[in-house]
Amino acid sequence: MKIAISGKGGAGKSTVAANLLYCCKARHLPTFAIDADPDANLGLILGLDPEKLALLPPLSTLQEVIAGKHAGGGAFVDLNPSVEDILEDYVLQDGSLRFLKMGGIKGGGTACYCKENAFLNAILTSVLLDRPESVVLDMSAGIEHLTRGTARGVELMLVVVEPTRAGITTALAVDQLAADIELPRVAFIGNKIRSVADQRYLYSSLPRERILGMLPFSETVLEKARQVGRSGFQEMDLMVGIEGIYQQIGGGG
Amino acid sequence: MKIAISGKGGAGKSTVAANLLYCCKARHLPTFAIDADPDANLGLILGLDPEKLALLPPLSTLQEVIAGKHAGGGAFVDLNPSVEDILEDYVLQDGSLRFLKMGGIKGGGTACYCKENAFLNAILTSVLLDRPESVVLDMSAGIEHLTRGTARGVELMLVVVEPTRAGITTALAVDQLAADIELPRVAFIGNKIRSVADQRYLYSSLPRERILGMLPFSETVLEKARQVGRSGFQEMDLMVGIEGIYQQIGGGG
């Protein structure tokens, strides 16, 4: 199961990602949990130790280490055993989950990321196309880390949508961008649904046949989002909906 | 008044920006409203015509036009009268407001933006340092469009923060990035406040003396966010708080 999750900032991508990862973990399925949105906090929502997360180096800093090991390796990265040794420092393990983060929020005047992006693309290629583990990729609405090549490795892109005009505009833009790189399957999940009107609004604004389900607005998710080291996942409010979605996307088990 | 607004995706940056712009418009203050977050919809929240917005070309597509006019102009852009003629096609005027958008969400595999970024930096430099108009800049948490040079032109960066652990983590990261480029003043606004506990949480988690105010969670803002062509601004729920902030940041009038 190789899934990418996208949508507008604040729509609940990380919450959906964390809940799908919980489904994987509960089944002891070896899975990469990849935080590819610099403005996300998948690790916190997964309930990983905040101090360990703060110390975890992003993959964008790994390039020089690998370059040293594979002189002249260029942008191609093969996560073979010798690289895995190094990679361990960039992974937080939690049961069958292996958490990685791609990079941090970008600071002032740091306009050029060409080299860094090529490197991160190469890592994603390896994880999506070469590795047997499942992958849940928490992305921003910008899906620039995916290419026509890596898109073949993504079985499904889930676009998380709040019932707002801006949420829908972003979701449709992401859908178009995914089509541009021929991503095989894009589906939508409504989130933070507070009423039947919210649901109707989404059904009438998005390709209806590709809406996988709707998740309720949850006070308990909000409450947990305030607390250190307590995750917003494994929430009963959400788990019923998420489990259904997990089954629909072929998780099974 | 030259203000940049940042914070985590979904925190309400565009709502705060639109409300501050309303304060400017009500005073007939000539103001650039700049949507610099590819994942934002400032124009929709300002209540601008959705069809006109969809047709409005982003500034990132302006480069070749200007290059044609100023052969060999490089990355320096001076928004002088001859360029302003061209710029008109990229502006939606609404009373004293001039709305511009910098660029769209980034698609798959489009890894290199060096040239585009340099160009957008140059436009921001001109707007922030050379022009007399006020500026309200709606940015992402990544503040890569600002440089040590343009930061001098930003009188204040407002960081909008939801009372969640992830919101605070992002806000503190933005604060650090702003300090790195020596941005003269960074302040915080709490948003979507639903209880006294929410307020206390923010006061205890952020530099207290730099919190300008707190805005309530607003059902009417949510409601309007669903409707086409109806703006989420000029909301009584928010206007009291926003007007106070507008006065504090030196808007006056």
Per-residue pLDDT of A203-247, as tens digits, reads 999 999 999 988 888 766 666 666 654 444 455 566 667 777 777
Q: What is the pLDDT of residue A239?
A: 66
As a whole number, the mean pLDDT across chain B is 83
Domains of chain A: 2-248 (3.40.50.300)
**pLDDT over threshold 90, residue B123:** no
Question: What is the least distance, in Å, from the CA of B152 to any CA of chain A?
Answer: 12
CB contact under 8 A, A105 and B141: yes
Report how far residue B230's alpha carbon sits from residue B44's, in angstroms, rounded to the nearest whole number. 8
Residues B65-76: what's their mean pLDDT? 54
- Residue A142's identity, in one-letter code, is G
Report chain B residues whose CB lies below 8 A from the CB of A110: 144
Q: What is the 3-state secondary structure (H, E, C) of chain B?
A: CEEEEEECCCCCHHHHHHHHHHHHHHCCCCEEEEECCCCCCHHHHCCCCHHHHHHCCCHHHCHHHHHHHCCCCCCCCCCCHHHHHHHHHHCEEECCEEEEECCCCCCCCCCCCHHHHHHHHHHHHHHHHHCCCEEEEECCCCCCCCCHHHHCCCCEEEEEECCCHHHHHHHHHHHHHHHHCCCCCEEEEEEEECCHHHHHHHHHHCCHHHEEEEEECCHHHHHHCCCCCCCCCCCHHHHHHHHHHHHHCCCCC
Question: What is the least distance, in Å, from the CA of B222 to any CA of chain A?
Answer: 7
For residue range B3-15, list pLDDT tens digits in order.
Answer: 999 999 989 999 8
For residue range B203-233, list pLDDT tens digits in order.
Answer: 999 999 999 988 888 766 666 666 654 444 4
Report chain B residues whose CB lies below 8 A from the CB of A194: 222
CB contact under 8 A, A106 and B142: yes
Q: What is the pLDDT of residue A86?
A: 65
- Contact, A101 vs A59, CB < 8 A? yes
* Backbone torsions φ then ψ of B181, nearest 5 degrees: -100, 15
Report how far residue B253's alpha carbon sits from residue B251's, in angstroms, rounded to the nearest whole number. 7
Least confidently predicted of A177-191, B53-67, B143-157: B53-67
Q: Which of B39, B149, B225 sits opposite A141 (nearest CB)?
A: B39
- CA of B111: how far to CAs of A108, A112, A121, B71, B115, in Å? 19, 10, 9, 27, 12
Report how far residue B76's alpha carbon sits from residue B238's, in angstroms, rounded to the nearest whole number. 39
Q: What is the pLDDT of residue A72?
A: 47
For residue range B72-117, list pLDDT tens digits in order.
Answer: 445 556 666 555 666 778 999 999 999 999 888 888 776 556 667 7
Q: Which of B109, B149, B226 sits opposite A148 (nearest CB)?
A: B109
Q: What is the pLDDT of residue B238?
A: 64
- DSSP summary character for residue A188: E
Q: β-strand A92-94 against A97-101: which pairing, if any?
A: antiparallel
Q: Which of A38, A109, A225 sits opposite B164 (nearest CB)?
A: A225
CB contact under 8 A, B105 and A141: yes
Structure token digits, residue B229 = 């062509």
Other C-beta atoms lying within 10 Å of the C-beta of residue A125: 22
- pLDDT less than 50: residues of chain A: 71-73, 229-233
Q: What is the pLDDT of residue A39?
A: 86
C-alpha closest to that of A174 among B91, B126, B106, B149: B106
Structure token digits, residue A251 = 């998780």
Q: What is the pLDDT of residue B133?
A: 92
CB contact under 8 A, A109 and B45: no
Q: What is the pLDDT of residue A232?
A: 45
CB contact under 8 A, B108 and A183: yes
For residue range B151-201, list pLDDT tens digits in order.
Answer: 999 999 999 999 998 899 999 999 999 999 999 999 999 999 988 999 999
- CA of A233: how far to CAs of A45, A164, A248, B126, in Å? 7, 23, 19, 46
- Contact, B225 vs A165, CB < 8 A? yes
Q: What is the pLDDT of residue B72?
A: 47
